[in-house]
Structure 1
Amino acid sequence: MSRAQQIARRLALPAAIWAISAAVYAGVAGPRTSGPSPDNHFVHLADSFLHGQLGVLGNRPPGTNDWACYDTETQDVCPPGAFSHPRDSQRWYVSFPPFPAIVILPAVALFGPGLSDTLFWALFAGLAPALLFVILRRLRETDRSQRTVRDDLLLTTLFAFGTVFFFTAVQGAVWFAGHVVGVVMILAYVYCALDARRPALAGLMLGLAFMTRATTAALVLFFAIEAMRISRVGPEPEYGDQPSVARRVYLWTTRVQWRDVLKRWAIFAAPILVIGAIAMWMNEERFENPFEFGHRYLMIRWRGRIETWGLFSYHYLSKNLAVFLASLPWLTAQEPHVIISRHGLALWFTTPALLLALWPRRVDAQMVALYAASAAVAIWNLLYQNSGWVQFGYRFALDYLPLVFVAIALGGRRFGPGFLLALVFAIVVNTFGAITFDRAWQYYDDDGTQERVFQPD
């Protein structure tokens, strides 16, 4: 068999997974693919880049939803009436991290700003399940995972159609497009970071993930620990009877060759520093502050709480935990009998099989790296000023969910009848979300204040 045939054979199954996933996403998106989404901020940002500027073309946003306005006179956020009473000193921007605009820029250059961004992102979203399968296959082929091909396909199917990624992939709007690109970048990062074998590419992918979803920066822990794990020499240390966590960590690090680790870390950090410098330059050009990304200047109703508590605060933790852990469908006597809070459903409800990650059969350093990185991002998101509003399920979990799936694969729990039932349940629930969200509002609570989290009495 020739080299070309071998490559084609290796690509066949991931390509089929991409084609099936992308076709389903585009099919479920349906009429949304006939034109631009109502909140196609990244298309407008790409168009601005093509015209050599960072701000909105014409300095007038095409809508009123989540645009940032900076007043150069006051060097502060624009007043509430900026949409209807603009001033020459006001500058309008897309405050969301800009990498998705770079991704869609070639399509905007070819088809113009009126292209169907929903179709573009649905097709792009198909890359995520394909990349997840490639990662699971690599772990299996290197004997890190004891899963079969069937197991890997089941996990890939669960991610593609049994998680909040499904409803996210069919929306097209700015918030969901960011998640689609973010998940693909996270998976590319994990693939490059496994065994710390491609540190420069891993750093590049993480930098691009950060320029898509800022909280993914905490995923740096995965590469950091992987580099230490792969650089250890000698036999496993004697831990003794019931050692403390601190002692286990100390003894484990005594086998680390730190010169090799620092070299890998330096190569990994180089592209991140370059991307960080670009981000700081953009921030300085837009907001006269290299550390200001622009969310503080969003023209939104909840700006008061941001000014009081900041973008991230312990103040937001209780509400976000309530959504993350306890938000369930509301059952009513009247049609349609099921109502979903605009804060979305709890993560374990939309994907019950994720609970397997809490009870692995084995835990090693690689799994610790996955858990540590996931927990860091999860905590950061739980401190954010909103819960992910408006959503079908807890979409912020997508910032670390790929790592959780890898941990489940490595954890060794058998995929028996219970897992298969959880898989079917998750696909049914998330298919409902993908079909109804932003289309069948009778299934969603009509509260617009963000104050109503649970079903009122």
Structure 2
Amino acid sequence: MFADAARPEARFNAALAGMLGAIAALLFSHGRLTPYDNYVLLADAMLHGRLWIDPQWPGPQIDAVLADGHRYIVNDPVPALLILPLVALVGTRANETLLACLLCGVATGAAWALLERLGVTSRVAIWLIVFLLAGTDLLWCSMLGDVWFVAQTSAVAFTLLALCELAGARRGLLVAVFFALALGSRFTLVMALPVIAWWVWDGFLARERRPRALNAFALTLVPFFMLWIAYNEARWHVPWDAGHTIFYHQDPFMGSPAGSPFGIGNVPVELWSFFVAWPLWHAQAPYLEPLTSGTALWFTSPALLLALVARTPRLLVLALWCATLLVALPSLLYYANGGAQFGMRHALDFEPFLLALMGLAARDGLAAGWRVLIAWSAAAGVWGCWYWNTFLRPGNL
């Protein structure tokens, strides 16, 4: 039922998929050097022994909050650590978009390896990889490389690596490292922690309880959470990440001077953004215009419906849906739907789990109807990238 991931051919195919994914992102990026290079600024600050970016702060166009007289980057720090060696070499001229494109390659390579381990044939895997790359916001986020978007690409890459390890050797230490890097890119993924831990202990593709693997997983995560607490204490003087709450209080457009950025009252707007919002139609070229505040998944990624067809292994399917819903919850409660974007970029937080479900659903082949939906999704994604490059972010911006 499930493929042997140790075959040289499987490793070659995954490497090839990763290379092609990175090349595609690089081609669409057009050599872009993003002006929203928060992670470059954070890496530069770290190299100078501090966490604030005051000397390099370009102004309010980037998400940097004021706390104790200093400006701090709000976004989760792993992409800054990844680009730190390049910043050490060339300083703040380092290209954050390049990092996003390389992580896009990691994501597509890991996705191919995961699909092969799920027993998906190469022909079907090609369709699903095309969907992941262009039918979701992965390509769009990667070609821009803005702070918010490189974080999304990084989270997808490391979540898929964690799932790939779970579907393979299931070494607790490696699962923990990959999952910690995903958390350090988009902390919303912490919601999947119980499911990930259960998979480490009880099994992913085959049920086999491994207490030692779970112990290794837990012990490896301990220093990560200790560093996370120390990082928050250094910035906000509390053990949790208060950055987004501070940003919400300082946001002059959608925020509030008091309260939490998370609330039940935000759910209707989020549900509209995820499932209803449609693009605008015009009588003149280019005729179709994506909403800059987000376009619903029914238009950009209708092939996600394939995930609903997955039935077996029953326990794995249920667990993947649990992980999907848990990770989606913070986005549904958040006061902002992702800002200026094509599609709904917050869906990338849980789409690795949906990709696994799509793989399980397609192990016996992919019917023509599903191929049409994948083709639609990919075409919509390429069109979104083209629209942004042509009308909203032309040139090296």
Residue 295 of structure 2 aligns to which amino acid in structure 1? L
Task: Map residues 22-421 of structure 1 onto 2, 5 A cutoff.
Answer: 22-32=22-32, 36-58=33-55, 61-72=57-68, 90-140=69-119, 147-194=120-167, 197-227=170-200, 229-230=202-203, 263-298=212-247, 299-302=250-253, 304-305=255-256, 307-308=258-259, 310-412=260-362, 414-421=365-372
Match of 1:425 among 348, 357, 376: 376
Q: Determine if contact 2:51/2:235 at 8 Å carries over to the other structure.
A: yes
Q: Work out whether residues 194 and 226 of structure 1, in 8 Å CA contact, stay in contact via their aligned partners in 2.
A: no
Are the structure 2 counterparts of residues 383 and 15 from structure 1 closer, same or farther at C-alpha, using a change threshold of 3 Å?
same
**Structure 1 counterpart of 2:58, one-letter code:** P
In structure 1, stretches of 5+ residues that fail to align are 1-5, 73-89, 141-146, 234-255, 443-457
2:71 is paired with a residue whose SS is strand
Q: Supply the distance in 2 between the matched residues of 1:425 and 1:120 (Cα, whole angstroms).
A: 28
Paired residue secondary structure (1:93):
strand
Query: How far apart are the structure 1 equivalents of 2:136 and 2:350?
Result: 13
The secondary structure found in structure 2 opposite 1:69 is: strand
SS at match of 2:336: coil
Verify the 8 A CA contact 2:192 2:326 in the aligned structure 1. Answer: yes
Q: Deviations over 1:56-84 (max 9, x none)?
A: 152x5123124333443xxxxxxxxxxxx
TM-score using structure 1 length: 0.78
Aligned residue identity for 1:41: N
Q: State the superposition RMSD in angstroms.
A: 2.5
CA contact (8 A) 2:26 2:143 kept: yes
Secondary structure of the equivalent of 1:92? strand
Aligned partners of 2:70, 2:297: CA distance in 1, in Å? 38
Paired residues of 2:290 and 2:384 also in contact (CA < 8 A) = no
Contact 2:154 2:185 in 1 (8 A): yes
Identify which range, 8-17 or 216-225, moves more after superposition. 8-17
Secondary structure in 1 aligned to 2:198?
helix
Say which SS state the counterpart of residue 435 (structure 1) adopts. Answer: helix
Percent of pairs identical after alignment?
Answer: 27
**How far apart are residue 267 of structure 1 and its match?**
2.3
- Segment of structure 1 superposing worse, 214-223 or 275-284: 214-223
Q: Does structure 2 retain, via aligned residues, the 8 Å contact 1:221–1:369?
A: no
Which range moves more in the overlay, 152-161 or 311-320? 152-161
Q: Point out the more displaced range, 361-370 or 124-133.
A: 361-370
Give every structure 1 segment of 4 or more consecutive aligned residues whose post-TM-superposition deviation is greater than 4 Å: 6-10, 260-263
Deviations 1:6-52 (A, max 9, x none): 986543222221222211111111141xxx31110000111111111
Matched, 1:13 2:13: yes
**Deviation, structure 1 residue 228:** 5.2
Q: Structure 2 counterpart of 1:20, which letter?
A: L
Q: How many residues align?
A: 385
Structure 2 CA distance for partners of 1:306 and 1:126, relative to 1, 3 Å: farther
CA–CA distance in structure 2, aligned partners of residues 67 and 228 of structure 1: 39
Structure 2: 5+ residue stretches without partners: 1-5
How far has the Cα of 1:439 moved from its partner?
Answer: 4.4
Report if the CA contact (8 A) 1:119-1:172 is conserved: yes
How far is the alpha carbon of 1:194 from its aligned partner?
3.0
Deviation string for 1:423-450 (max 9, x for gaps)?
22112110011122264139xxxxxxxx
TM score, norm. by length of structure 2: 0.89
Contact kept, 8 Å, 2:108 with 2:132, in 1: the verdict is yes
Q: Residue 57 of structure 2 aligns to which amino acid in structure 1?
A: P
User: Does the 8 A contact of 1:162 with 1:428 survive in 2?
Assistant: yes
Shift of 1:209: 1.2
Tell me the SS of whatever aligns to 1:281. Answer: helix
Counterpart residue identity of residue 194, structure 2: L
Task: Compare CA radii of gyration and give the structure with the larger one.
Answer: 1
Mapped to 2, the partners of 1:294 and 1:104 lie a distance apart of: 21
Q: 1:424 to 1:292 in 2, by over 3 A?
A: closer
- Cα displacement (A) at 1:112: 1.9
8 Å Cα contact 2:54-2:70 kept in structure 1: no
Render the CA deviation track for 1:152-186: whole Å, top value 9, x for unaligned.
22211211122211211100110101011111111
Whether the 8 Å contact between 1:311 and 1:385 is mirrored in structure 2 is yes
Q: 1:340 to 1:306 in 2, by over 3 A?
A: farther
